[in-house]
Structure 1
Amino acid sequence: MKEILKQLELFLKSSNFDRGIRLGVGITTPFAIMYFLGYFEYAPALVVGAFLNAPGDIPGSVKRKVNAILISIGLTMVVTAIILFSKPFLPLLLVALATITFVVSLISVYGFRGSLVSFSGLLAMVLAFAIQKETAHDILVQVALMGAGGLWYLAVSFIFQKLAPKKDQNQLLSDTLLLIGEYLKLRSKLLTKKTMRDELLKQTFVIQHQINEKHETLRETLLTHRKRSGRTHYEEKQLLLFLSSINIFELIEATHLDYDRIDRIFGKRKEFLKASKNLNKIMGNHLIRLSELLIQNDKIPNKDMLLNALSKANESITNYIDSVKLPEAREGALVLKNLYDYQEQLLQEIRAVRRVMANVKDVSKLSLKRQDSSQFLTLQEYRLNILFENLSLESTMFRHSLRLAITIVFAYLLGFLFDIQNTYWILLTIIVIMRPSYGLTKERSKDRVIGTLIGAAVAIGIVLITQNVVVYAVLAVVSLVLAFSLIQQNYKSAAALITITIIFVYSFINPDAFEVIQYRVIDTIIGSVIAVVATYILLPTWEADNLKQVLLNALEMNKKYLLATQELYQDPSKYKLSYNVARKEAFLAISNLNAAFQRLTQDPKSKQKEFQLIYEIVTLNQTMISAIASIRNFIINHKTTPASIEFNILIKKISNTLQMSYDRLDHAKIEKKVTEETAEHAQDKLLEKYQQLSNMRDENIRQGNTELDTETLHGLQEAYLIANHMSWLKSLSENIKKATESYGSSLTEDK
C-alpha cells in the first residue's frame, strides 16, 4: 500500500499530470464563462480549438513551444475551413481529404515537435466531420472561435509555466535519473548472467535510446534558456544535475567489459564478481530513489549502504588475490581493480547529485560559455527545402504520408457507401494509431482495441449504476485529464480513458449510451484493422531496408569519437571540449542505431532480413563505443604516461578499419593506410610493456617486497587496460568490417 501511495503521489506531482490539468482548465473554463455570459452556443468551438492545439505543449524551448502552438492554431483553422466548405461536394471533399492528409502528415519530417503539429492538423480534419455548419458565416465564426480557443489554451499554458517554471525540467531530470538507475541495474546482470546476455543487451538498447532522448530534450531546455544576467541558482542546480547524469551514463558505458575475457579469467569463480554486481544494483536503486525525490522533495536517504557496498567490492579484490594467489591472480585482480575504480567514480558522481539536491553551498560552479554550449545542441532545422528533399519514395515519411492519404480516403468511402453512422470515428482511429513502421502501428492498434474495450466495459458499468448527466460530465472531464496525462507513458490506459470521455460526451447528444458504446467499439476495430492492413500492403516500409544510413552514421561517429579520445590522451585540458562534443554525437548515433534495431524486431519475421547479422553489427558498435569510453575514463581519472607510438599506430589502424567498413557499405574507394604487420607489431609492443611491468612486480615479490605502491599499481593498470583495450578495439573493428562487408553484399544481392 505504501508503494502504491508513493506512485500515486509521484503521478499527481508529475509534469504529465500538470499538462492534463492544463487541458482540463483549458476546456472547462470556456464552458463556464460562456454559460454565465449567456453565449453557451459558442463554447463548443472554443473548447475544440483548445483541445486541438494542446498536443504541441511539450517540454523544451519556450520559444519553440509557443511557435509550434501558433503554427498549430493557424493550421487547424485552415484545415477545418477547407473540410467544412468541401463537405457538400463529395468529389471536392475526397480531393481535400487526400491533399490535407498527405501535406499535413509530411510536416512530421521536422522532428517530434513537427509531428505533434501535424497530428493537430489531422485531428482538426477528422473532427471537422462532427461539426454541423452549412453557411459561410457559420463556418467562419466556427473557425474564428477555434482560433480563439487555441490562443486561450496558449495563455493557460503560459500561466501554468509561470506558476511552476521548472516543473518540466525537474520531471525530465527525474525521468533521466530513473532510466539511468534501471540501466545500471540491468548492466550489473551482464557480469554473471552468461546465458542471458543477448536478451539483456537487447533490453539495454531500448533504455539507452530513452536516456539519449531525455538528454537531448534537456540540452534544448537547459542550454537555450539563457538570460543576459546569467543563470539563477536554481538553473545552475538543474544544469549540474544534468551534467552529472551525462557523466554517470558515460561511466556506466565505460564499464562494458570484454565479457568473453571475464568468463575466461573467472570461470567458476564468479562469486568474486558478486560484490561489484551488488554495488551496481545498490547504486541503481539509489539513483531511482533520488529521481523520486526530485518530484517529492523529501529527505535524501542515508549513503551508508552505498559506502558499505563499495567497501565490500574493494574487499573482494583482496579476497580474490588471497584465494587464487599471485602471479596467477594478477590479471583477475586488475580487472576487479579497474571495475572498482569505475564504480568508485560512479559513486562520486552520485554523491555530487546528492550534494546538489541537498543545496550544499560548496558544490562546483559552472563556466560553460555560450559558444561552447551551442556545440552541444542538435536543434531541428525548419528550412522549406527539407520538405522538398522528402518528396521521394526513398523517404520513409513520404511513403507514410501517401499511405495515410490513400487509407483515409478509402475509409471515408467505405463509411459513405455503407452509411456508417460515425465514419469519422474510423478516421480518428486511423490517424491516431497509423505510424510509418508496421511494428509500431500493430502495437498501437492492439493497445487501442484493448483500451477501447476496457473503456467501454467501464462505461457500461457506470451507465448501469447511474443515469445522471452531471456524473457523466464530471467523469468525461476527469477521464480526459487522466488520458492526456498518460498518453505518452501508457497508451492502452489512455485509450480506455479517451473512450470513456467520448462515450459520456456523446451521451449528451444521444441518450441511448449503449448505442454509443456499441458504435465506438465497432468503429475502433474497423479503423484498427484498416490501419494495420494498409501499413503492411501499401508502400510498406521495413526497417531492414532503412538501416544503411543509420549504420553509416554510427561508423562515422565512432571513428570521430576514437580520434577525439586519442587527442584527449595527448592533452586532456586542451581537447576536453572537442572530446565532449564527439562523445555526444557518438552516443546519439548509437542511440539511433539501437532504436532502428528495436523497430526491426517489431517487423514481421519474414521482413527481418539478415536479423542476426544486424544484431551483431549493433552489438559490435555498442561494445566499441563502451571500450572507447573506458579508455577516456582511465585517462581523465589517472595520472598517465604520454601516449606511446604504438598506441597511435593502433588508433590509426582501428580508425582506418572503421573507414574501410564505411567505404565498403557506401561503395566508396578504399585505401589501406596501415599494414597489418605494423599494427600487429604495435599490439605486441603494448602487451610486452604490460608483461615487463608484471615480471618486475613478480621479481619484487620474490625479493620480499610485497607492498604495492600507487605509482606501480597505476602503471600496471594503465599498461594492462591500454594493451588489452587496444587489442579489443582492433578485434572489434575487424569484426565490424567483416559484418558490414557481409551486410553490404546482402544489400547488393537484394537490388
Structure 2
Amino acid sequence: MKKKLKQLELFLKSSRFDRGLRIGIGITLPFAVLYFLGYFEYAPAVVVGAFLNAPGDIPGSFKRKVNAILISIGLTMVITTLILFSKPFLPLLLLVIAIITFAVSLISVYGFRASLVSFSGLLSMVIAFAIQKETAQEIFVHVALMGIGGIWYLVVSFIFQKLAPVKDQNQLLSDTLLLTGKYLKLRAKLLTRKNKRNARFKETFVLQNQINEKHETLRETLLTARKRSGRSRYEEKQLLILLSTINIFELIEAKYLDYERIDGIFGAHKEFLKASKKLNKIMGNHLIRLSEILIQNDKVPDKEILINALSKASKSITNYINTVKLPEAREGALVLKNLYDYQEQLLQEIKTIRRVMANVKEASKVSLKREDSSQFLTLQEYRLNVLVQNLSLDSTMFRHSLRLSIAILFAYSLGFVFDIQNTYWILLTIIVIMRPSYGLTKERSKDRIIGTLIGAAIAVGIVLLTQNVVVYAILAIVSLIFAFALLQQNYKSAAALITISIVFVYSFINPDAFEVIQYRVIDTVIGSTIAVVANYVLLPSWEVNNLKQVLLNALKMNKNYLLATQELYQDPSKNKLSYNVARKEAFLAISNLNAAFQRLTQDPKSKQRQFQLIYEIVTLNQTMVSAIASIGNFISNHTTTPASIEFHILMKKIANTLEMSFDSLDHTQLHKKVAEETAEDAQEKLLDKYQQLSNLRDENINQGHLELDTETLHALQEAYLIANHMAWLKSLSENLKKATEHYRASIVDDQETFY
C-alpha cells in the first residue's frame, strides 16, 4: 500500500500530471467563462483551438516550444478552413483530404516536435468533419475563434512555465536517473547470469535508447537555457546532475565486459564477482531513489550502504588473491581491480549528484564555454532539401504518408457509402494509432481497442448507477486531465480515460449514452483494423529493409570514436573535448541502431529476414562502442604511459577494418590497408609488454617484495587493459566485417535487385 501511495505521489507531482492540468484548464476554463458571460455558442471553437494546439507543448527549449505552437495554430486554422469549404463538394473534398494528409504527415521528417505539429494538423482535419458551418462568415468566425483558443493555450502554457520553470527539467532528470539506475542493475545481472545474457542484452538495447533520448532533450533544454543572461544557480545544479548522469552512462557502457573471457577466468570462483554485482545493484537502487527525491523534494538518503558495499568489493579482490594465489590469480585480480576502479568512479559521480541535491555549497561549478557546449547539441535541420530528399519510395516517411492518405480516403469513403454516423471517429482512430512501422501500429491498435473497451465498460457502469449530468461533467473533465497525463506513460489507460471523457461529453448532445458507447467501440475497432491492414499491405516498410543507413552511420561513428580515443591517448588535455563529442555521436548512433532492432522485433516473424545475423551485427557494434569507451575511460582517469607504435598500428588496422565494412555496405572502393602480419605482430608485442611486467612482478614476489606500489599496479592495469581490449577490438571489427558482408549479400543486394 505504501508503495502505491508513493507512486501516486510521484505521479501527482510529475510534469506529466502538470501537462494534463494545463490541457484541462485550457479546455474547461473557456467553457465556464463564456457560459457565464452568455457567449456559450463561441466556446466549442475556442476549446477546439486550445485542444488542437496542445500536442506541441513538450519539454525542451522554450523558444522552440512557442514556435511549434504558433506554427500549429496557423496550420490548424488553414486546414479547418479548407475542409469546411470543401465539404459540400465530394470530389473536391476527397482531393483536399488526400493532399492535406500526405503533405502534413510528411512534415514529420523534421523530427519529433515537427511530428506533433503534424499530428495537430491531421487532428484538425478530422475534427473539421464534426463541425457544421454553412456560410463563409460562420466558417471564418469559427476559424478565428480556433486561433484565439490556440493563443489562449499558449498563454496557459506560459503561465505554468513561469509558475514552475524547472518542473519539466526536473522530470526529465528524474526519468534519466530512474532509467540509469535500472540500466546499472541490469548490467550487474550480466556479470554472473550466463544463461540469461541474450535476453538481458535485448533489454539493454531498449534502456540505452530511452536514456539517450532523455540526454538529448536535456542537452537542448539546459545547454541553450538563458544564453544571454547566463544560467541561474538552479540551472547550474541541473546541468551538474545531467553531466554526472552522462558520465555514469559512459562508465556503464565502458564496462561492457568480455563476459566469455570472464567466465573462463573465474570458472568455479564466480562467488568473488558477487560483491561487485551487489555494489552495482545498490548503486542502481540509490539512483532510483534519487530520481524520486527530485520530484518529492525529500532528504537525500544515507550513503553508508554505498560505502560499505564498495568496501566489500575491495575486500573481494584480496580474498580472491588469497584463495587462488599469485601468479594464477593475477589476471582475475586485474579484472576485479579494473571493475572496482570503474565502480569507484561511478560512486564519485553519484556522490556529486547527492551533493548537488543536498544543496552543498562546495558542489563544483560547471565550466563549459558556449562554443564548446554547442557542439553537444544535435540540431534539427529545417531546410527544404530535407523534405525534397524524402520524396522517394526509399523514404520510410514518404511511404507512411502515402499509406496514411490511402487509409484515410478509404475510411471516409466507407463512412460515406454506408452512412456511418460518426465517420470522423474512425478517421481519428487511424490518425492516432497509425505509425510508420507495422509493429508499433499493431501494438497501439491493440492498446487502443483494449483501452476503449475498458473505458466503455466503466462508462456503462457509471450510466447504470446514475444519470446525473453534473457527475458526467466532473468525470469528463477529470478523466480528460488524467488521460493526457498518462498519454506517453500508459497509452492503454489513456485510451480508456479518453473514451470515458468522450462518452460523457457526447451525453450532453445525445442523451442516449449507451448509443454513444456502442458507436465509440465499433468505430474504434473499424479504425484500428484499417490502420493495421494498411500498414501490412500498402507499401509496407519492413525494418529489415531500412537498416542500411542506420548501420552505415553506426559504423562511421564507431570509427570516429575509435580515432578520437587514439588522439586522447596521445594528449588527453588537448583532445578531451573532441573525444567527448565523438563519444556522444557514437552513443547516439548505437542508440538509433538499437531502436531500429527493436522495431524489427515487432515486425511479423515472416518479415524478420536474417534476424540472428542482424542481432549479431547490433551486438558487435554495441560491444565495440563499449570496448572503445573502456579504453577512453581508463585514459581519462589514469596517468598513462605514452602510446606505443604497436597501439597505433592496431588502431589503424581496426579503423581500416571498420572502413572496409562501411565501404562494403555502401558499395564504394577501399584504398587503404594494413598488412595482417604487421597487425598480428603489433598485437603480440602489446601482449608481450603485459607479460614482461607480469614476469617482473613475479620476480619481485619471489624476492620477498610482496607490497605492490601504485605505479606498478597502474602500469599492470594499463598494459593488461590496452593489450586485451585492442585484441578484442581487432577481433570484433573482423567479425563485424564478415557479418556486414553477409548482411549486404543476403539482404541489401537482394533489395536493390528487387527495386
**TM (normalized to structure 1)?**
0.99
**How much does 1:513 deviate?**
0.4
Q: Report what 1:19 is aligned to.
A: 19
Q: Does 1:471 align with 2:471?
A: yes
Counterpart in 2 of 1:269?
269
Compute the displacement of 1:370 (Å): 1.0
Letter in 2 for 1:748: D
Residue in structure 1 matched with residue 136 of structure 2 by the alignment = 136
Distance 1:230 1:145 in 2: 39
Which residue number corresponds to residue 78 of structure 1? 78
In structure 2, C-alpha distance between the alignment counterparts of 1:314 and 1:339, rounded to whole Å: 10
Aligned to 2:716: 716
Q: After superposition, what is the alpha-carbon deviation per residue over 1:256-291, rounded to whole angstroms, capped at 9, x for unaligned?
A: 110110011011211111110000000000000000
> Does 2:303 correspond to 1:303?
yes
SS of residue paired to 2:411: helix
Contact residue 129 and residue 424 of structure 1 kept, 8 A: yes
2:127 maps to which residue?
A: 127
For the 8 Å contact 1:438–1:602, the answer to whether it is kept is yes
* 1:445 partnered with 2:439: no
User: What displacement does 1:382 show?
Assistant: 1.2
Match of 1:333 in 2: 333
Equivalent AA in structure 1 for residue 229 of structure 2: S
1:29 — aligned with what? 29
Equivalent in the alignment of 1:736 = 736
Checking the alignment, whether the CA contact within 8 Å between 1:266 and 1:332 is kept in structure 2 is yes
- Output the amino acid matched with 2:393: L
Cα deviation 1:106-146 (Å, max 9, x = unaligned): 11111000000000000000011111111111111110000
Q: How far apart, in 1, do the equivalents of 2:200 and 2:435 lie?
A: 27
Per the alignment, in what secondary structure is the counterpart of residue 509 of structure 1?
A: coil
Q: Deviations over 1:21-56 (max 9, x none)?
A: 001110111111111211011011100000000000
Match of 2:749 in 1: 748
Cα shift readout 1:208-257 (whole Å, capped 9, x = no counterpart): 00000000000110111134332111111011011001000000001111
Work out the CA distance in 1 between the residues paired with 2:670 and 2:369.
40
Equivalence for 1:616: 616
The CA deviation at 1:673 is 2.1
Q: Secondary structure at the match of 2:129?
A: helix
Q: Deviations over 1:583-639 (max 9, x none)?
A: 110000000000000000000011111111110000000000001110111111111
Equivalent residue number for residue 596 of structure 2: 596
Is 1:421 the counterpart of 2:421? The answer is yes
Query: CA separation in 2, counterparts of 1:6 and 1:233?
Result: 29
- Alignment-mate amino acid for residue 500 of structure 2: I
Q: Helix, strand or coil for the counterpart of 2:111?
A: helix
Q: Does 1:607 align with 2:611?
A: no
Distance in 2, Cα, partners of 1:18 & 1:575: 43
Q: In the aligned structure 1, how far is the partner of 2:199 from the partner of 2:491?
A: 25
Structure 1 segment 460-539 matched on structure 2, within 5 A = 460-539=460-539
| Secondary structure of the structure 2 residue equivalent to 1:643 | coil
SS of the equivalent of 2:533 reads: helix
Output the amino acid matched with 1:77: M
Structure 1 consecutive aligned stretches of length 4 or more whose deviation exceeds 6 Å: none
- The DSSP-based 3-state class of the residue aligned with 1:662 is helix
Deviates more, 1:579-588 or 1:387-396: 387-396
1:59 aligned partner: 59
% identical aligned pairs: 81
1:561-602 Cα deviation digits (max 9, x unpaired): 011011111111100110111011000000000000000000
For 1:41-52, list aligned pairs within 5 A.
41-52=41-52
1:649 CA drift (Å): 0.7
Counterpart in the other structure of 2:658: 658
Shift of 1:671: 2.5
**Partners in 1 of 2:701 and 2:539 — Cα distance?**
71
> What is the CA distance between 1:367 and its match in structure 2?
1.7
Matching residue's letter, 2:98? A
Shift of 1:379: 1.4
Q: Which residue is 1:230 aligned to?
A: 230
Whole-Å separation in 2 of the counterparts to 1:289 and 1:89: 60
Letter in 2 for 1:275: A
- Are 1:369 and 2:369 matched, yes or no? yes
Is 1:433 the counterpart of 2:445? The answer is no
Q: How many residues align?
A: 751
Give the C-alpha shift of residue 672 in structure 1.
4.0
| Structure 1 runs not aligned, ≥5 long | none
Query: Displacement, 1:88?
Result: 1.1
Q: C-alpha separation between the residues in 2 aligned to 1:4 and 1:748?
A: 54
Q: Write the distance in 2 (CA, Å) between the matches of 1:637 and 1:106.
A: 46
User: What is the match of residue 240 of structure 2?
Assistant: 240
Q: 1-side partners of 2:352 and 2:170: how far apart?
A: 17
Distance in 1 (alpha carbons) for counterparts of 2:647 and 2:386: 42
**Which residue is equivalent to 1:161?**
161
Distance 2:607 2:527 in 1: 24
* 5+ residue gaps, structure 2: none
Take 1:32 and 1:480, find their aligned partners in 2: how far apart are those partners?
16
Residue 322 of structure 1: CA displacement? 1.0
Pairwise CA distance, 1:12: 0.5
AA aligned to 2:424 is Y
**What is the Cα-based RMSD across aligned positions, in Å?**
0.7
* 3-state SS, counterpart of residue 574 of structure 2: coil
Q: Is the 8 A contact 1:660 1:671 kept in 2?
A: no
Residue 506 of structure 1 aligns with an amino acid whose one-letter code is Y
* Structure 1 residue 373: Cα displacement: 0.7
Q: Secondary structure at the match of 1:541?
A: coil
CA distance in 1, matches of 2:301, 2:230: 32
Structure 1 window deviating more from structure 2 (27-36 vs 279-288): it is: 27-36
Q: Find out whether 1:677 has 2:677 as its counterpart.
A: yes
Q: Which residue of 1 aligns with 2:695?
A: 695
Corresponding position of 2:562? 562
Q: Which moved more, 1:199-208 or 1:668-677?
A: 668-677
Q: Distance in 2 between matches of 1:706 and 1:376?
A: 47
- Give a deviation string over 1:447-485, Cα, whole Å, max 9, x none: 000000000000011101110011111110111111111
CA drift at 1:366: 1.6
Q: Distance in 2 between matches of 1:441 and 1:552?
A: 26
Q: TM-score, normalised by structure 2?
A: 0.99
1:175 alignment counterpart: 175
1:542 matched residue in structure 2: 542
CA contact (8 A) 1:84 1:139 kept: yes
C-alpha distance in 1, partners of 2:614/2:672?
25
**Matches of 2:449 and 2:590, distance apart in 1:** 34
Q: Do the aligned partners of 1:176 and 1:211 also contact (CA within 8 Å) in 2?
A: yes
SS at match of 1:574: helix
Deviations along 1:53-85, whole A, 9 cap, x unmatched?
000000011111001000000111111111111
CA contact (8 A) 1:547 1:596 kept: yes
Structure 2 residue aligned with 1:347? 347
**Residue 209 of structure 2 corresponds to residue 213 of structure 1:** no
SS of residue paired to 2:363: coil
Shift of 1:749: 3.3
- Given that 1:558 and 1:625 are in contact with CA atoms closer than 8 Å, whether structure 2 keeps it comes out as yes
CA distance in 2, matches of 1:327, 1:136: 91
**Shift of the alpha carbon at 1:388?**
1.6
Matched, 1:40 2:47: no
- Quick one: which amino acid aligns to residue 301 of structure 2? P
Secondary structure of the 1:436 match is: coil
Does residue 572 in structure 1 map to residue 560 in structure 2? no
| Cα distance between partner residues in 1 of 2:548 and 2:396 | 13
